[in-house]
């Protein structure tokens, strides 16, 4: 057996190479550590907090901690015993003294409508309660709703530390107090409609962007560099303008008395008393979103088409193929990486769009992102908002997973 190879300092060469490789990996890791920390702090941690908030109810559990313990033992078949009502009385009294009863009123109202006014009315008359008397009777004297067992069941359910009922609401379902799951009343069903509308808009805008971007990218790739750069500036020009400004411009263009309708009327295509309705509907939403997201489809397509040799098409035609068949069998398949990259980019951006559908589409252009903003800003049901955002995140991850399974993430070409 030959002698092991050693370095000049007498150390085994294999050991020396392992040490060098370890130092190289450690150096590379240290270089990317700031980026990893940024992603962790600015992306991973907020998403984790969002997912936790969708099932978190610890604030209510802490505000009514003693009530949560005693009411958990109650079977819910009859009105609660004195232990529950007395504990709730004393904790509600402390919350009123600390001016925190408004929080529990709002949160309990998510479980059972009418709880906000019930808590507020009870809070005004709580100082008249006789602490030596029957608390349940005194609660019922304040308001007849306290005689309804469902309000006490809502209190029991509302003090649970964690629950996933917001995800049911996201799809227009609700969990009854007996544990059964049913659809919410028909007049309140809106979330499933918004989900379907959001997917329809995202897919439709992606398709429109592809139809418009493909010939544009092909033209950019075929033109000489001098002219291609000039046209590329036109493609990138919208990026230099605020999204809100671009959306507002479309509102000016598309309204009934807007520029587009005025032009159509002036050239006689549309009668003055029969102007096109392009605002506050899906038509305006599609037009505005397609124009705004078009560059995100053009750039990946252009980056792929620029690498395709024109001689391939000429060779196919010279060997007897028609230009259409040469395009269909040679050129188009070679652009698959750009098509898939642009499609997934536009789809992911479109599925979470907010400003443009709200301004241009009006009530008919409301998407799930607008509903999330409503619960965050107006109804203050952050649990439901974060549950919807969580479902939206999962939907995007599923799209990425499907893309990776069908196309392969390694085949993505963005530039």
Q: Assign residue 114 a region (left: φ > 0; alpha: ψ between -120 and 50; beta: otherwise).
A: left
Token pair of 162, please? 């964690």
DSSP label at residue 159: T
pLDDT digits (tens, 9 = 90+) for 83-110: 999 999 999 999 998 888 888 888 888 8
1 pLDDT tier (thresholds 50, 70, 90) = very low
Give the model's pLDDT for residue 200.
93
Q: What is the mean pLDDT of the chain?
A: 86
C-alpha distances in Å from residue 273, one per residue of 77, 251, 257, 268, 270: 65, 20, 11, 12, 8
Give the model's pLDDT for residue 355.
84
414 pLDDT tier (thresholds 50, 70, 90) = low
The span from the CA of 350 to the CA of 257, in Å, is: 28
pLDDT digits (tens, 9 = 90+) for 321-371: 788 888 888 888 888 888 888 998 999 999 988 888 888 888 777 889 888
Of 411, 211, 395, the C-alpha closest to 297 is 211
CA angle 34, 36, 40 (to 5 degrees): 115
Average the pLDDT over 290-307 and give the result.
90
Give the model's pLDDT for residue 198.
92
The span from the CA of 117 to the CA of 108, in Å, is: 11
Give the model's pLDDT for residue 85.
92
pLDDT of 3 > 80? The answer is: no
pLDDT digits (tens, 9 = 90+) for 146-197: 999 999 999 999 888 888 888 998 998 988 887 888 898 888 888 999 999 9
Give the model's pLDDT for residue 406.
75
C-alpha distances in Å from residue 113, one per residue of 17, 107, 189, 358: 70, 10, 16, 28
The span from the CA of 33 to the CA of 400, in Å, is: 25
CA dihedral of residues 149, 150, 151, 157 (deg, nearest 10): 120
23 pLDDT tier (thresholds 50, 70, 90) = confident
Give the model's pLDDT for residue 146.
93
Instruction: Spell out the residues 6+ positions from residue 51 whose beta carbon is closer than 8 angstroms to its own.
Output: 386, 390
State phi, psi for 54 to the nearest 5 degrees.
Answer: -70, -20
- The dihedral sign for the CA sequence 282, 288, 289, 294: positive
pLDDT digits (tens, 9 = 90+) for 237-296: 888 888 888 888 888 888 888 888 888 888 888 887 888 888 888 888 899 999 999 999
On the CB side of 272, CA atoms within 13 Å amount to 1
């Amino acid at each position: 057996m030959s002698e092991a190879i050693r370095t000049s300092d007498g150390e085994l060469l294999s050991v020396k190479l392992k040490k060098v490789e370890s130092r190289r990996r450690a150096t590379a890791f240290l270089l990317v550590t700031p980026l990893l920390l940024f992603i962790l702090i600015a992306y991973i941690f907020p998403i984790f907090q969002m997912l936790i908030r969708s099932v978190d109810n610890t604030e209510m559990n802490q505000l009514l901690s003693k009530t949560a313990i005693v009411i958990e033992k109650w079977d819910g078949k009859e009105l609660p015993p004195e232990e529950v009502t007395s504990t709730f009385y004393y904790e509600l009294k402390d919350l009123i003294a600390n001016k925190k009863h408004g929080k529990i009123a709002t949160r309990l109202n998510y479980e059972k409508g009418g709880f906000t006014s019930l808590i507020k009315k009870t809070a005004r008359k709580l100082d008249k309660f006789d602490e030596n008397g029957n608390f349940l009777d005194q609660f019922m004297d304040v308001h007849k709703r306290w005689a309804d067992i469902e309000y006490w069941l809502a209190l029991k359910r509302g003090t649970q530390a964690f629950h996933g009922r917001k995800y049911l609401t996201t799809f227009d379902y609700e969990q009854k107090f007996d544990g059964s799951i049913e659809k919410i009343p028909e007049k309140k069903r809106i979330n499933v409609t918004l989900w379907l509308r959001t997917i329809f808009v995202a897919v439709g805008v992606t398709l429109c962007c592809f139809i418009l971007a493909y010939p544009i990218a092909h033209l950019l790739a075929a033109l000489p560099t001098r002219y291609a750069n000039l046209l590329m500036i036109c493609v990138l020009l919208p990026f230099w303008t605020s999204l809100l400004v671009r959306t507002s411009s479309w509102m000016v263009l598309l309204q009934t008395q807007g520029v587009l309708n005025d032009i159509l009327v002036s050239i006689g295509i549309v009668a003055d008393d029969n102007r096109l309705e392009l605002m506050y509907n899906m038509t305006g939403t599609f037009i505005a979103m397609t124009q705004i997201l078009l560059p995100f489809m053009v750039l990946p397509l252009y980056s792929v088409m620029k690498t395709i040799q024109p001689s391939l098409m000429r060779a196919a035609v010279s060997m007897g193929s028609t230009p259409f068949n040469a395009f269909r069998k040679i050129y188009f398949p070679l652009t698959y990486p750009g098509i898939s990259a642009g499609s997934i980019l536009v789809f992911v951006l479109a599925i979470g769009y907010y400003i443009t559908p709200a301004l241009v589409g009006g009530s008919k252009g409301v998407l799930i992102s607008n509903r999330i903003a409503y619960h965050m800003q107006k109804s203050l049901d952050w649990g439901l908002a974060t549950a919807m955002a969580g479902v939206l995140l999962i939907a995007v991850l599923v799209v990425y997973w499907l893309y990776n399974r069908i196309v392969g993430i390694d085949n993505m070409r963005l530039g």
